[in-house]
Amino acid sequence: MFRKVAAPVTFTLLLLAGCASGPDVKVDADPSANFANYRTYSWAYHAAPRGMNPLAYQRVRQSIDANLASRGFTQADPGDFAVGFTLGKRDKVEVTDFGPYGA
């Protein structure tokens, strides 16, 4: 009896797991920018933006810091480039370009 129930349940769970999608990550950068010259970065904001969970903000920021450090970047103010992120569900994301940062 257990096998008759276990096989369809397992199949259904695997099927549903295949339907799950990861986050939709998009990056926008100037294709002519020479990132080989960039060594330092700064944060676009130093505290969790209004409405963002402060704990989630710190965890994501620490993860980004660790990832950038593993790639040889160091944090400086001002940096060669600025890092910012957003969390949460959005129907539409708006980005404002402030021109060349640190140039």
**Would you call the peptide bond into 78 cis, given omega within 30 degrees of 0 as the criterion?**
yes
- φ, ψ for residue 17, nearest 5 deg: -65, -35
The 8-class DSSP code of residue 55 comes to: H
- Rounded to two decimals, the pTM is 0.57
| pLDDT by residue, tens only, the chain of 103 residues | 555 556 666 666 665 555 556 666 677 777 888 878 889 999 888 787 777 788 888 888 899 999 999 999 999 988 898 888 877 666 666 667 666 665 5
Q: What is the pLDDT of residue 47?
A: 80
Q: Which amino acid is at 76?
A: A
Q: What is the pLDDT of residue 50?
A: 78
Sheet holding 40-43, edge to edge: 74-75, 40-43, 81-83
Q: The tokens of 18 are what?
A: 């295949």
